[in-house]
């Protein structure tokens, strides 16, 4: 049985398609920071109650001195190395498709894919992302970690909305064309 | 002396950043074809009177059975192998920066960079593109020729406009932030 839960990627990239500069440098994101403007993030987060995130991205967040922001949600850190759970935060070493199938078979809000690129590309290889909310930052960074890597199947999309903001950020929202 | 002539990239990519699938397959562009809708191309072309295009892209156009569409413009096919001119179409084996400097020092309309990826990335290494008009086609193609390659300098941009169209194409228009 499959419910209507959707896997949604919500992420920011440079115009040239990088989610980070070399050494996981996210400094370019600061150019679109604006007081009182969260680019819809808080409203988006209210629509999800489960999170899938890669181990490296998780550790990057922790290393920046933040408390893990999704500790209140059913969270899966995708990793190759088993570790004990931290409350609702689970370290998941199994198959990604099995995880998504399991989450989709249970009732709940939507499922947030919070990166990084490795997880996004693994999910896309099995056509497991239902919606894409991509914030394009007005910069060419030139080097770093590309959001989309070679070697995925073709997937047609349907544009849901486009929003642009004062700082030049453009937010593109797509869903899979066949859903 | 530098005039106000600008080098403008006008190009279409998939959401995952490819300008062609493997073997220069441009078939995915047909999903946004619509009678009477040229996504501003004709109006754009009226603003340019010079064209810079890579040799491979030029030969792709010719191989598709078309007459070369810019034969009426001051056109430079960037190549490593000298060939005789064909009317206003010149095969250019020199330095790209010198070419752009020469064009910008003369009066005229804007200069159209018509791809492909090799030329775009060479121009960007020397910070030679002034405006970007990028049409994002609503598809992940998964493999092929990326518009932006690693190894370019950082370049901040300013968003000029965003337009979306019935078929789900989104057209992003940027200029260099420092101009």
pLDDT-derived band at B31, boundaries 50, 70, 90: very high
Does A148 contact B17 at a Cβ distance shorter than 8 Å?
yes
pLDDT at residue A9 above 90? yes
* Contact across the interface for B156 and A139, Cβ inside 8 Å: yes
pLDDT single digits (tens) A106-161: 999 999 999 999 999 999 999 999 999 999 999 999 999 999 999 999 999 999 99
Measure the CA–CA gap between B141 and B138, rounded to whole angstroms.
Answer: 10
CB contact under 8 A, B15 and A151: no
Taking only residues 75 to 134 of chain A, the set having a beta carbon closer than 8 angstroms to any beta carbon of chain B reads 124, 132, 134
Spatial contact of B29 and B12, defined as CB atoms under 8 Å apart: yes
Q: How many domains does chain B have?
A: 1
Contact B142 A150 (CB under 8 A): yes
Burial class (CB in 10 A: 0-12, 13-18, 19+), B96: middle
- pLDDT at residue A67, rounded to an integer: 85
B51 has pLDDT over 90? yes
Three-class secondary structure of residue A167 per DSSP: coil
Half-sphere exposure of B13 (CA within 13 A, CB side): 25
pLDDT tens-digit readout, B130-179: 999 999 999 999 999 999 999 999 999 999 999 999 999 999 999 999 75
Q: Find all residues with CB under 8 Å of B144, minimum gap 6, and list them.
A: A150, B18, B19, B20, B21, B22, B25
A86 assigned to some structural domain:
yes
- Report pLDDT for A168: 98
Look at residue A1 and tell me whether its pLDDT is greater than 80. Answer: no
Tens of pLDDT, residue by residue over A47-106, are 999 999 999 999 998 898 888 899 899 999 999 999 999 999 999 999 999 999 999 999
- Tens of pLDDT, residue by residue over A71-80, are 899 999 999 9
Q: How far apart are CA B58 and CA A137, in angstroms?
A: 31
Tell me, yes or no, if B11 comes closer than 8 A to chain A by beta carbon. no
Contact between A134 and B15 using a beta-carbon 8 Å cutoff: yes
Task: Measure the CA–CA gap between B49 and A170, rounded to whole angstroms.
Answer: 30
Answer yes or no: is A1 within a domain: no
Confirm whether A141 is domain-assigned: yes
Task: Count the neighbouring beta carbons within 10 Å of the beta carbon of residue B38.
Answer: 11
Q: Considering only the C-alpha atoms of chain A, give the largest distance between any 2 of them, rounded to a whole number of Å.
A: 44
More confident residue, B29 or B71: B29
Going by pLDDT thresholds of 50, 70 and 90, the confidence category of residue B1 is: low
CB pairs under 8 A between A and B: 109
A2 within some domain? no
Distance from CA of B159 to the nearest CA of A (A): 5
CB contact under 8 A, B159 and A138: yes
Determine the Cα–Cα distance for residues B31 and B168; give it in Å rounded to an integer: 9
CATH number, position B147: 3.40.430.10
CA-to-CA dists, residue B92 to B11, B62, B73, angstroms: 21, 17, 15
Is A167 inside any structural domain? yes
What was the pLDDT predicted at A137?
A: 98
- Average pLDDT of chain B, as a whole number: 95
pLDDT > 70: percent of chain B: 98
Residues of B in contact with A20 (CB under 8 A): none
Nearest-Cα distance to chain A for B155, in Å, is 5
Instruction: Give the model's pLDDT for residue B67.
Output: 85
pTM above 0.80, yes or no: yes
Q: What is the pLDDT of residues A10-30, one digit of tens each?
A: 999 999 999 999 999 999 999
User: How many angstroms separate the CA atoms of A69 and A113, rounded?
Assistant: 14
Domain contains A120: yes
Residues 6 or more apart from B145 whose CB is under 8 A from it?
B18, B19, B20, B24, B116, B117
Query: For chain A, what is the total number of helices (H) and then of strands (E)?
Result: 4, 11
A25-54 residues touching B, CB cutoff 8 A: 28, 31
CA B146 to the chain's CA centroid: 13
pLDDT surpasses 80 at A178 = no
Q: Which tens digits make up the pLDDT trace of B108-131?
A: 999 999 999 999 999 999 999 999
pLDDT at A179: 54
- ipTM, two decimals, is 0.96
Tell me whether A65 touches chain B (CB under 8 Å): no
**Cα-Cα end-to-end distance for chain A:** 16
**Would you state the pLDDT for residue B179?**
54
Contacts of B144 in chain A (CB under 8 A): 150
Q: Provide the domain limits for residue B58.
A: 7-176
Strands B155-164, A139-140: pairing is antiparallel
More confident of the two residues B114 and B2: B114
Q: Is residue A110 part of a domain?
A: yes
Query: Does a structural domain hold residue B1?
Result: no
**Helix and strand counts by DSSP (H, E) for chain B:** 4, 11
Residues A116/A145, Cβ–Cβ less than 8 Å: yes
């Amino acid at each position: 049985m499959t419910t209507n839960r959707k896997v949604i990627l919500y992420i920011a990239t440079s115009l040239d398609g990088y989610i980070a500069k070399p050494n996981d440098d996210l400094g370019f994101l600061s150019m679109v920071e604006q007081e009182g403007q969260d680019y819809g993030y808080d409203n988006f987060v209210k629509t999800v109650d489960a999170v899938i995130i890669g181990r490296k991205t998780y550790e990057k967040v922790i290393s920046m001195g933040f408390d893990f922001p999704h500790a209140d949600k059913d969270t899966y850190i995708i990793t190759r190395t088993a570790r004990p759970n931290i409350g609702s935060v689970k370290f998941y070493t199994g198959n990604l498709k099995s995880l998504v199938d399991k989450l989709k078979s249970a009732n709940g809000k939507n499922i947030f894919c919070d990166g990084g690129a490795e997880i996004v590309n693994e999910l896309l290889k099995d056509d497991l992302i239902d919606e894409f909310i991509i914030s394009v930052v007005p910069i060419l960074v030139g080097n770093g970690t590309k959001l989309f890597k070679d070697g995925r199947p073709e997937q047609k999309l349907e544009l849901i909305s486009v929003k642009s903001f004062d700082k030049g950020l453009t937010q593109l929202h797509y869903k899979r064309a066949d859903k």
